[in-house]
Structure 1
Amino acid sequence: MAPKLKIDPPLLNSACPWSTTLEDIKALYDSPHTGAVTIRTSLLEGFSHDDSIHQYLFFTPGKTIPSKPPKGEDSKPTSKSAPSEPISTLNTLGYSPLTLSEYLGIINEIVGQRHLGTDTPTKKPFILSVAGTPDEIAMAYALIANAAEMDEDLRLAMEVNLSCPNLKDAPPPAYDPAQLAEYMEAISDSKSTYRGRMAGPESVPKVGIKLPPYTYVSQFENVVAAMRKAVSTEPGEGCVLDFITCTNTLGSSLLLDSDLNPVLNSEAGTGIGGLAGAALHPLALGNVATFRRLLDQHDETTGVAIIGVGGVEDKAGFERMRKVGAQAVACASALGRYGVAVFERITKGD
């Protein structure tokens, strides 16, 4: 079965703080080195972001963090940092303060400029990362599908974030097989509803799920089993998912400063958050490799693409991800560290 998702070149950003604003998204869209743009995870009604609670930090694994270090953009390594120095991030972020509808408006504005002949002439896919209950995900798909139906210039996909580790009393649904099944059912129903209304199969917005890092085989097998049960009613199409994104940040991670206090604040007040960047890379590679092997064992799932994420910031990291089965490779921490220029850096091997 041929892969269901086409991203060319196979390089993009993952949902992150650096894909939040119109300026962020337009810069990613205009880069000739990105094959798609992923929007920061949004909710139908927006998220109450609070800078005093929802934070992030760049750091070098194995090095002591000074007392009261700069956070957010102020924590980004300077140009004096050694280029080969491995950089990771820890974050206690939630979702975007902008709503899904606001992001659809931003996309319309960016793509609309194409008609004026002023910007990127190619049609590049936008992946809208969303979160919420299964019913809210169904509503989100309806908004995205309606937007795609109204403007044939929009190439839209939906990524359901089932893996944010930072929300108090809201553990990632992707760790729970019962919850995962509920989301798969909502996705299946949504795609079935809109299939008959769209111009053709290719115009139906693609759907994927963003998964957390898994650490033992039964976790991977539970996900693949849920995917095998969620089969499209369309003959020969297989699983209703077009792609999976793995991995999100590794939760339950903590940094202490030189005074042995938590470096970041968090909703729970513990400073525990999600780990990303260089420290996550080996686990991310293992997740991509394991999922590719398991997905390829079954006719229903062999066509599901994988977007590999985790610690890629150069051409070698990109090639490692591709080698283990990622159809496309995405960056977050490296985007925050280097800006949009990181995609040229990866492409050319600088």
Structure 2
Amino acid sequence: MASKLKIDPPLLNSACPWSTTLEDIKALYDSPYTGAVTIRTSLLEGFSHDDSVHQYTFFTPGTTIPANAPKGEDSKPTATASSSSTGADNTSSSADMSSSSSAGPVSTLNTLGYSPLTLSEYLGIINEIVGQRHLGTDTPTKKPFILSVTGTSDEISMVYALIANAAEMDEDLRLAMEVNLSCPNIANAPPPAYDPGQLAEFLEAIGDSKSTYRGRMATPESAPRVGIKLPPYTHISQFEMVVAALKAAKSSEPGESCVVDFLTSTNTLGSSLLLNDALEPVLTSESGTGVGGMAGAALHPLALGNVATFRRLLDRHPETKDLAIIGVGGVEDKAGFDRMRKVGASAVACASALGLYGVDVFERITKGGD
């Protein structure tokens, strides 16, 4: 259906620290095993990242984390050690797969916010990468970029305008917008997707923005697709609330029923905490508690359940049955990819595994290697 975001192969990264820089994004774009590239969540004016507050760590569930354990990239487990960690935003994606693959399933906890780079800076990076295609030096296939964004509903309208203008100016750009309504780490700003009123407000802004730009694009396919990134839900009433909001958000565009084209499910699980062997929080955070969002292998069963439940509920209604789902949460191998596809994911994305294994993880998932 035209309303779905076309990702072929159906494998990509989700918004994360390892899709922050030009180098990160180009490596993801150049991989023959990714069907799209998701840019780290950005704001119109950027985010004030602070390494001493916004952190992440790799950990193995059920193990003790020593006090003063390394954080960030240094926390990646190896064949001889598996520990913890925070890190700077602009980190490299190149982990040694041979040393880390024997560490077993690995999860992450993060207290990160958003990217320090602005949306305009990311549009410039995308233009630079796609511009090199004209020289015949890079991937010949047009690959979609999903710009993960956030802000107020009014700001999201401005964001869509910037992305639509960029797509209108260059027919080689395949752009989509993912509105992140699910980050659990921003103090005094709970994820809007848990609140039906806020969710409806964002959906209305998305619909108005798409209507404004309808007809300006060269072809319907060149218009930026729009999705929303959702948090984990744990009760059927929460899923039904989202589906009801999507049903009510009817599109005014020909051939489309809903104002959004896809869902990304699921973001990190908030209210998660790691204590070290001194019984102190492993990470810092904006709230000062060290509580953050959990992802990776420990999230996988909940993520599968969210995707399966949404697919079942969306398929019941003509207004929502054509929505695609990007399934995210704990996928690090082909078996995990197959499970996500089985429960209804149109495409599968990963973040923690990308941070651990680097871009080679997509070949690992595709070919079923260790």
Match of 2:289 among 260, 267, 270: 270
Q: Is the 8 A contact 2:266 2:328 kept in 1?
A: yes
Match of 1:229 among 245, 248, 267: 248
Matched residue, 2:208: 189
4+ runs deviating over 3 angstroms: 79-82
**SS where residue 102 of structure 2 aligns?**
coil
Q: Is the 8 A contact 2:78 2:103 kept in 1?
A: no
Separation of aligned partners in 1, 2:235 and 2:255: 31
Matched residue, 2:22: 22
Separation of aligned partners in 1, 2:253 and 2:186: 37
CA deviation after TM superposition for structure 1 residue 200, in Å: 2.3
Match of 1:180 among 171, 193, 199: 199
Matched residue, 1:161: 180
Matched residue, 2:74: 74
Q: Is the 8 A contact 2:187 2:287 kept in 1?
A: yes
- Any residues of structure 2 matched to 1:253-268 within 5 Å, and which? 253-268=272-287
Matched residue, 2:137: 118
Matched residue, 1:5: 5
Separation of aligned partners in 2, 1:134 and 1:299: 26
Q: TM-score, normalised by structure 2?
A: 0.93
Q: Is the 8 A contact 1:41 1:131 kept in 2?
A: yes
CA deviation after TM superposition for structure 1 residue 77, in Å: 1.2
Separation of aligned partners in 1, 2:335 and 2:101: 17
**What residue identity is the alignment partner of 2:308?**
A
**SS where residue 244 of structure 1 aligns?**
strand
Counterparts in 2 of 1:135 and 1:316: CA distance versus 1, 3 Å: same
**What residue identity is the alignment partner of 1:149?**
E
- 1:29-49 deviations in Å (ceiling 9; x for gaps): 000000000000000000000
**What residue identity is the alignment partner of 1:137?**
I
Pair 1:330-2:349 in alignment: yes
Matched residue, 2:332: 313
**SS where residue 57 of structure 1 aligns?**
strand
Separation of aligned partners in 2, 1:64 and 1:240: 46
CA deviation after TM superposition for structure 1 residue 196, in Å: 1.7
- 1:91-111 deviations in Å (ceiling 9; x for gaps): 000000000000000000000
- 1:228-249 deviations in Å (ceiling 9; x for gaps): 1111112431111110000000
Matched residue, 1:48: 48
Structure 1 unmatched runs, 5+: none
**What residue identity is the alignment partner of 2:304?**
L
Pair 1:33-2:33 in alignment: yes
CA deviation after TM superposition for structure 1 residue 82, in Å: 6.0
Q: Is the 8 A contact 2:60 2:106 kept in 1?
A: yes
CA deviation after TM superposition for structure 1 residue 213, in Å: 0.1
Separation of aligned partners in 2, 1:236 and 1:32: 32
Q: Is the 8 A contact 1:2 1:303 kept in 2?
A: no
Separation of aligned partners in 2, 1:216 and 1:267: 28
Q: Is the 8 A contact 1:213 1:283 kept in 2?
A: yes
Matched residue, 1:220: 239
Separation of aligned partners in 2, 1:264 and 1:84: 22
- Percent pairwise identity: 83
**What residue identity is the alignment partner of 2:351?**
A
Matched residue, 1:92: 111
Separation of aligned partners in 2, 1:234 and 1:117: 36
Tell me how large the CA RMSD over aligned residues is: 1.0
Q: How many equivalent pairs are there?
A: 350
CA deviation after TM superposition for structure 1 residue 275, in Å: 0.2
Separation of aligned partners in 2, 1:237 and 1:138: 19
**SS where residue 83 of structure 1 aligns?**
helix
CA deviation after TM superposition for structure 1 residue 69, in Å: 1.0
Match of 2:229 among 198, 210, 213: 210
Separation of aligned partners in 2, 1:110 and 1:322: 30
Q: Is the 8 A contact 2:79 2:103 kept in 1?
A: no
